[in-house]
Structure 1
Amino acid sequence: MTDHARDLEAVREATDRLLSATGKMDDGAVAEPSLLPGWSRGHVLAHLSRNADALVNVLQGRPMYANSETRDADIERDALRPLSEQLADLRASGAAFLAAAGAPGDWSRTVTLRNGVTDPASRIPFRRWAEVELHHVDLGVGYDLEDLPEEFVIRENDFLAERFAGHPGVVPTTAVTEDGRLWTTGGGAEGAAVTVRGTVTDILGWLCGRRDGSALTVTGGSLPALPPL
């Protein structure tokens, strides 16, 4: 069972790491490209702030975003701000999420996210944790996948394997680590079953689209191309 209170503390710690790293940048660094194609570091920071707002909406029973166009426009609008404004927004929006998620509520209820996706309310803190951790990596400031907490890496692999399970574009796939951890995913596409072997972090890099999978060993076919997150 998801421990939302424990995950919320993990969000707090991850946000502190992110704010510390961001505070070492300057306006020029914010405008430089991130590791996400087409996005500057400012885009990543703006997205993180607006995602915090959006998850507050979810927890309080409102639509996550008014629509996809508004979401994208807000990120573009906020991406060009100087570092001081980015930091202030990131700090304030993150604190607002922590306050909303820390309020008493029915954590067994189902909430609605983007595109009609539903999830138990108790998993929203983990979703925010994933946003903060992965986009910290995307900033390209020395925080890499190998720096992520082990618990997070394992649970994000669980989450992503579940997300792609049965996907019509992915053949049955099993990912295995050297120490025997195992995830199954795909299965909606016809084709021979594939086994992927590698470190838990390299498996995460492939599942979350941050690495090309070249460090993985694949048997039974080629490495499946996963849909974007």
Structure 2
Amino acid sequence: MIDHAHDLEAVREATDRLLGAAGKLDDGSLAGPSRLPGWSRGHVLAHLSRNADALVNVLQGRPMYANSETRDADIERDAPRPLAEHLTDLRESGAAFMIAAAEPADWSRTVTMRNGVTDSASRLPFRRWVEIELHHVDLGAGYELEDLPEEFVIRENDFLAERFAGHPGVVPTTAVTEDGRIWTTGGGSDGPPARVRGSATDILGWLCGRRDGSALTVEGGSLPALPPL
């Protein structure tokens, strides 16, 4: 069972880590490239602020974004701002999300995300946690996948394995860690099944598209290609 209150505390802690790291940047480094193709560090921070707004919309029964064009335009508008403005926006938008999430609500209800994706309201705090942690890594400012909390790594692997399960472009795949954790995914594409071995962190890097999987050992063919998130 998803414990949304637990996940909200994790969001609070991850936000504090992000603000601490972002506060060590300067205006020049914000304009530099992030690890996401075509995005500066300013784009990453702008996206995180607007994502907090969007999840407030979802919590309160409104569309997550007016449309994709507006979402993208808002990020482009906010990306070039000075560091001080980004930090204020991150802090205030994050606080607004926490306030909205503290309101009495039916956490078992179904909510609608971007592109018509539906989910349980109880998973929204975890989705925000994912945004903060992975995009913190994307900043390229000293926070790596190895720095992620172990609980987060395991749960995000669970989430992504479920997301790609039955995908028509992914062969049946089993990922196994040194300590015996197992994730199964894919299965919607013809081809020999693959068995992938490595650390939970390296498996996450592959599943979330942050690493090429070269640190993994593959049995039964080549490393399966995964669709973009």
TM-score, length-scaled by structure 2: 0.99
The alpha-carbon deviation at position 103 of structure 1 amounts to 1.2
Output the CA distance in 2 between the equivalents of 1:154 and 1:207.
12
Partner SS for 1:10: helix
Aligned to 1:140: 140
The answer to whether residue 207 in structure 2 is matched with residue 210 in structure 1 is no
Output the CA distance in 2 between the equivalents of 1:69 and 1:170.
30
Q: What is the one-letter code of the residue matched to 1:167?
A: H
Q: What is the one-letter code of the residue matched to 1:116?
A: G
Q: Between the two proteins, what is the percent identity of the paired residues?
A: 84
Q: What is the one-letter code of the residue matched to 1:63?
A: P
User: Which aligned segments of 4 or more residues in structure 1 are displaced greater than 6 angstroms?
Assistant: none
Output the CA distance in 1 between the equivalents of 2:204 and 2:107.
27
Aligned to 1:160: 160
Aligned to 2:103: 103
The answer to whether residue 56 in structure 2 is matched with residue 56 in structure 1 is yes
The alpha-carbon deviation at position 102 of structure 1 amounts to 1.4
**Unpaired stretches in structure 1, ≥5 consecutive residues:** none
Output the CA distance in 2 between the equivalents of 1:13 and 1:29.
24
Aligned to 2:79: 79
Output the CA distance in 1 between the equivalents of 2:53 and 2:222.
40
Output the CA distance in 1 between the equivalents of 2:95 and 2:217.
42
**Unpaired stretches in structure 2, ≥5 consecutive residues:** none
**CA deviations over 1:200-228 (Å, ceiling 9, x no partner):** 00000000000000000001111111111
Output the CA distance in 1 between the equivalents of 2:28 and 2:223.
38
Partner SS for 1:189: coil
Aligned to 2:125: 125
Aligned to 1:175: 175
Partner SS for 2:210: coil
Instruction: Count matched residues.
Output: 229
Q: What is the one-letter code of the residue matched to 2:143?
A: Y
Aligned to 2:4: 4
Aligned to 2:28: 28
Partner SS for 1:201: helix
TM-score, length-scaled by structure 1: 0.99
Output the CA distance in 2 between the equivalents of 1:99 and 1:32.
33
